[in-house]
Amino acid sequence: MIRIAIVGGGIAGLAAAWELRPLAESGRAEVTLFEASERLGGAVRTDRESGAVIECGPDSFLARKPEGITLVREMGMDKELIEVRNPGSYLYLRGKFRPFPPVTPAGLPASLSSMAHSHLLSPAGKLRALGDLFVPRSRSLSRGEDVSLGDFLRRRMGREIVEHLAGPVAGGTHLTDIHELSLRATYPDLARMEKEHRSLLLALLRERTPPAQGGAPRSPFLTLRNGLSSLVEGIEARLPANAVRKSSPVETISRGDGGQYFLRTGGREEGPFDGLVLSAPAPALSAMLSKSFPELARAFSEFRYSPLVVVGLVYPQVPENIPLDKGGFMVPRDEPLPISGVSWATRKWGFAPPEGGEVLRVYLDEKRNPGILSLSDEEILERARKGVATTMGITGAPRYSRVYRHGAALPQYAVGHPERVARVRSLAAQWPRVALAGALLEGVGLADCIRTGREAARRLTKGIAEPSA
Ligand SMILES: Cc1cc2nc3c(=O)[nH]c(=O)nc-3n(C[C@H](O)[C@H](O)[C@H](O)COP(=O)(O)OP(=O)(O)OC[C@H]3O[C@@H](n4cnc5c(N)ncnc54)[C@H](O)[C@@H]3O)c2cc1C
């Protein structure tokens, strides 16, 4: 029997535990998941206290990546799946809600005509974007180096594309400033397009895929009727009770003479373990590995996280002139507001409070609010309310409000990210049966975290016969 410890009970650690469940049930593996806090799920957390579903962290997963739906199905929760009702979002620019033109995932106009008709770009901005047709290839990229998405696009297409399209779209997806976002780690396709076609606009023209024929278009995002925490609760309910150790922050990891691993938590030594899944955030991993695995610990310390706060607000109503026919709106960085966006959760997903009204999720980032994690709830709430007052004209008090802080929840895929990931992966591979999982690696989205969690579990148990059905 193989003994495996999973460090971190976010969605990645849970996916690893779920993948190992058949081996654990057949007695071929003993699995223990150590979670620092008193609850599982990590960034995934649904607040149901107001009677409405309010997501404190992620609110959906991508339909085009199969890992999320597969896990939901394995949990027997297919009927809980719901599609986004009002896709798309507005940009709040110069006092108005302006619809986004059709854009690519990185926020580029999907076609020349969508760029020509966009109200988010001035005539001068459109002309500058057309300059992409003549801009030579980036020398840094040609040398195989990494650059930021913001610098790359600014050089090719100018400031307005960056600030009014790519910044809110790609920055909104990664919840960060795109001038700090690694192009190679997040949108490697753009580097490829430049390499093959030189101009991105030419590449878009030449590579345009014809729209799919027939059938209703599927929603790009899915969630669960009672919130994403139901997935966490579903997994937890199906794991053996003694497999989960909450309120057990791992303080150190060491290796015994026999080559097995030992964890220290709450001043007690746990183990021995034959294998480890490391799925806690990088700063925590760096701290727990620093004594016995200093090189790996140093490599983990190279990753940065950007703090983020989500404020859940329930209002009895919002002013009638607000369109509310999309999922919400984003705020570009050049608008002098403390918020970076608002999700209209009731319109987006149908998450309605029992007494009626609207659920809003307001995002506040560190860039616009330095030191945000140390601000009081009252101060954060005041900034969120100022944001919705200026943009949506809501001045009354919310019926319910709650502040959700995310410290080390979202790793920054900063320039050089692929090299940093390759380094932690290769250092971890020097130790037998140590596998990495989670948002740090090749995608912060839930589907990617589930994938890396399951892959880590499979890697550790490779060669151990599957139990017969
Ligand atoms: C506000 C927000 C909105 C997001 N929106 C979306 C979205 O809509 N769609 C999407 O796909 N993704 C979204 N994401 C990203 C996604 O939610 C996360 O990337 C993902 O949930 C991370 O999962 P994880 O298991 O890798 O890490 P985490 O969720 O961070 O889990 C790590 C766990 O490790 C635990 N831990 C820490 N230290 C220790 C220790 N010493 N010992 C033991 N355990 C420890 C933590 O308590 C935590 O539970 C969002 C993220 C945030 C923060």
Task: In whole angstroms, give the CA distance from residue 48 to residue 400.
Answer: 11
Ligand 1 atom showing the smallest separation from residue 408 Cα: 30
Ligand 1: which of 348, 440, 449 to mutate, most ligand atoms within 8 Å of CB? Answer: 449
Report, as an integer, the average pLDDT of 299-304. 96
Distance 408 CA to ligand 1 centre (A): 8
Whether the predicted pLDDT of 217 surpasses 70: no
pLDDT band for position 210 (cuts 50, 70, 90): low
34 lines ligand 1 (CB under 6 A): yes
Domains of the chain: 2-43+226-303+414-460 (3.50.50.60), 46-65+83-87+305-406 (3.90.660.20), 100-207 (1.10.3110.10)
pLDDT digits (tens, 9 = 90+) for 373-393: 999 999 999 999 999 999 999
pLDDT digits (tens, 9 = 90+) for 331-357: 988 899 999 999 999 999 999 999 999
Ligand 1 atom showing the smallest separation from residue 62 Cα: 11
pTM (predicted TM-score): 0.93
pLDDT band for position 214 (cuts 50, 70, 90): very low
Task: In whole angstroms, give the CA distance from residue 282 to residue 299.
Answer: 9
Among protein residues, the one whose CA lies closest to atom 17 of ligand 1: 58
* Other beta carbons within 10 Å of 301: 15
Distances (CA, A) of 238 to 18, 242, 450: 8, 11, 17
C-beta of residue 363 within 8 angstroms of C-beta of residue 308: yes
Task: In whole angstroms, give the CA distance from residue 132 to residue 128.
Answer: 8
pLDDT band for position 306 (cuts 50, 70, 90): confident
pLDDT digits (tens, 9 = 90+) for 125-167: 999 999 999 999 999 998 989 999 999 999 999 999 999 999 9
Ligand 1 atom showing the smallest separation from residue 13 Cα: 25
In sequence order, which residues have a C-beta less than 8 Å from that of residue 141 and are 6 or more positions away? Answer: 147, 152, 183, 191, 194, 195
Ligand 1 atom showing the smallest separation from residue 251 Cα: 41
